[in-house]
Structure 1
Amino acid sequence: MTSFWIFAAIGTATCFAISSLLAYDAARSLGAVVFSFVRMSIVAVGFALLVLISDFDPSLDFWDISLLIISGILGVFFSNTLRYSSLARVGPSLQSLLNTTTAPFALALGFLVLGQVVSGLSLIGVGIVFGGLVLAIFSRNSDALVRFSGESGNVTSGILFGLASALSRAGSVLVAAPVMLDGTDLISATFVRSLAGSLSLLLTVVLSTERKAQIRSMPMPIARQVFSSAVIGTGLGMTLQLYALSGGPVGVVSTLTATTPLVILPLIWFFGKARPPGLAWVGAIRAVSGVALNVNAG
């Protein structure tokens, strides 16, 4: 029998890659805060409808919801805002590689906060991830920046934003882990996290006349990109990921879904009409290999 979960896991990585490409122009046009707010509001509404259909998980108590709210603030207000700030500066290819550092940061936080033992293979994986990232950074040619390449003058800030985003996302996962390990319904948990993240961004939008004006005057093409990014990246991507996890080993599924840096390169080649440099491919392969070691080492 065909293992459809393998195709679902690869499909997840593809959805994340397409979502990044769709988010690129919209994030540059709207700014990271406005883009993240509109996108997560769409996600929150979508999951609210799913909760109405499937019912809210009654096992969630005040403490669980509090942890999910903190996770949502870390994962949306901080991580997503920093991520889209990075995306606008360095482009989707390098940003997707920066996102792979979430796994090493999660290991570090697990060791420092929870006292979890880090294996030798995990440490090797961390080194491989960061080695791949360094290769990708050096592969950038500021004199030949093209579509989806980001900006030549903001590489350093873009890299720092990307690393800070990965650190925030790792913290978000760490906070939510105890709740999810209890078997909490994923739809209910995602609804709480996305709603908390969207509301945490609301104040920064409401208090800014410029940001409110940006939302009111948002061009239709940009609005379509924001909506498509939310539906494809979070809606379809998460659905495929859940299906993959229901049929395949967690470590293998996590590795396959982390291949976004590899998937995104041919997409950039096709849509951006520019072949990524060889070091970008080598860096992406190394980063994905490092993630594979991290998630399978335990």
Structure 2
Amino acid sequence: MTSLWIFAAFGTAACFAVSNVFAYDAARALGAVKFSFVRMSLVALGFAALLAITGFDPSINLADVKLLILSGISGVFLADTFRYSSLARVGPALQSLLATTTAPFTLLLGFVILGQVVGGLPLLGTAIVFTGILLAVISRNSEALTRFSGVQTGLGSGILFGLAAALTQSGSILIAAPVMLKGVDPISATFIRSAAGSASLILPALFTAANGARIRTMSQSIMQQVLLSAVVGTGLGMTLQLYALRNGPAGIVSTLSSTTPLVILPLIWIVGKSRPHRLAWIGAAFAVAGVGLIVNSG
């Protein structure tokens, strides 16, 4: 069935949404750096186990490894730390919206670093994305914060952390792109990136005895949330996305995979028993539409 890739792309967005909800309490309990370290260590171990079965891609050379390591440091050490710092402050709904700015930032870095010309539709899409985020921020009621809304005083810093996460994630994508365009095994590439990210987090995560003790003594429920976030978000989510990319147009797959903001709102409504404001729905729709214009304009 050729339409399975469509369901896989939507499944990717659903996995990212569920992962964000699982990650929320754990990121607040452990802190962004410690949470990222534990999560990415689990991801690296999981992909190492897969490679033990499938084998490492022999076509990956030393230059490729260096680029993937740099991509992992940017995408995990920096982007994930910023992302979970944002998540703890503004909650999963607004954070998932902030993540859609990865597409506009990729355009920006492509223009600044690679000299790529940006046309009218991508610029319009960028404006629509940021309009959606603005609508979501306006809809946030600081006097009626719910379990998944973040903290009352963390809006400004949470938005900055979220934008920083998107910027460093877009940098990670551009760094890894030359390697992935060669057709290397994505499992091998993901293992290198996750291992590099996890290793780069060891020092800050375990910098003090208190940090190490906090990781060793985390509750069973927190550990389960970290594990589920890793398995559902990176494991299942990335697998579905790769399947979709192999069978469907990359632009459409990227758009459908970016519908996480729309998926996460009903999820929070069900789990958190809090009905999102209508502007939040409109903002999420705007952001997804903006991403669609950007990634399908070529």
Tell me if TM exceeds 0.5: yes
| Superposition pairs of residues 113-124 of structure 1, within 5 angstroms | 113-124=113-124
Output the amino acid matched with 2:252.
V
Please, what is the CA RMSD of the aligned residues? Answer: 0.7
One-letter amino acid matched to 1:265: L
- CA distance in 1 between partners of 2:205 and 2:43 (Å): 17
Identity within the alignment, %:
66
- Write the distance in 2 (CA, Å) between the matches of 1:33 and 1:265: 26
1:52 deviation in Å? 1.3
- Distance (Å, rounded) in 1 between the aligned partners of 2:232 and 2:7: 16
Instruction: Give the equivalent residue in structure 1 for 2:212.
Output: 212
User: What corresponds to 1:62 in structure 2?
Assistant: 62
Q: CA deviation at 1:207?
A: 2.1
1:144 match: secondary structure: coil
- TM-score (normalizing by structure 1): 0.99
Runs of 5+ unmatched residues, structure 2? none
Residue in 1 aligned with 2:126? 126
Shift >4 Å, 4+ stretches: none
Asked whether the 8 Å contact 2:2–2:247 carries over to 1, the reply is no
> Using the alignment, how far apart are the partners of 1:271 and 1:206 within structure 2?
33
Structure 1 unaligned residues grouped into runs of 5+: none
Q: Aligned-pair distance for 1:26?
A: 0.2
C-alpha distance in structure 1 between counterparts of 2:270 and 2:180, whole Å: 38
SS in 1 for 2:58: coil
How many residue pairs match? The answer is: 298
How far is the alpha carbon of 1:205 from its aligned partner? 2.2
CA distance in 1 between partners of 2:67 and 2:59 (Å): 14
Q: Which amino acid aligns with 1:24?
A: Y
1:4 is matched by which residue type in structure 2? L
Q: Does 1:285 align with 2:285?
A: yes
1:38 & 1:64 partners in 2: Cα distance? 26
Amino acid at match of 1:82: F
How far apart are residue 258 of structure 1 and its match?
A: 0.2
Deviations 1:101-133, CA, capped at 9 Å, x for gaps: 000000000011001111110000000000101
Q: What residue number does 1:104 align with?
A: 104
2:201 is the alignment partner of 1:201: yes
Deviation at 1:2, TM superposition (A): 5.8
Which residue of 1 is the match for residue 268 of structure 2? 268
Distance in 2 (alpha carbons) for counterparts of 1:230 and 1:81: 15
**In structure 1, what is the equivalent of residue 85 of structure 2?**
85
Q: Secondary structure at the match of 1:42?
A: helix
What per-residue deviation string (whole Å, max 9, x for no partner) do you get for residues 232-291 of structure 1? 000010111111112111111110000000000000000010100010000000000000
2: distance between equivalents of 1:154 and 1:9?
32
Give 1:62 deviation, angstroms.
1.1
- Give deviations 1:11-42, integer Å, cap 9, x for gaps: 11000000000000000000000100000000
Say if 2:172 is the partner of 1:177: no
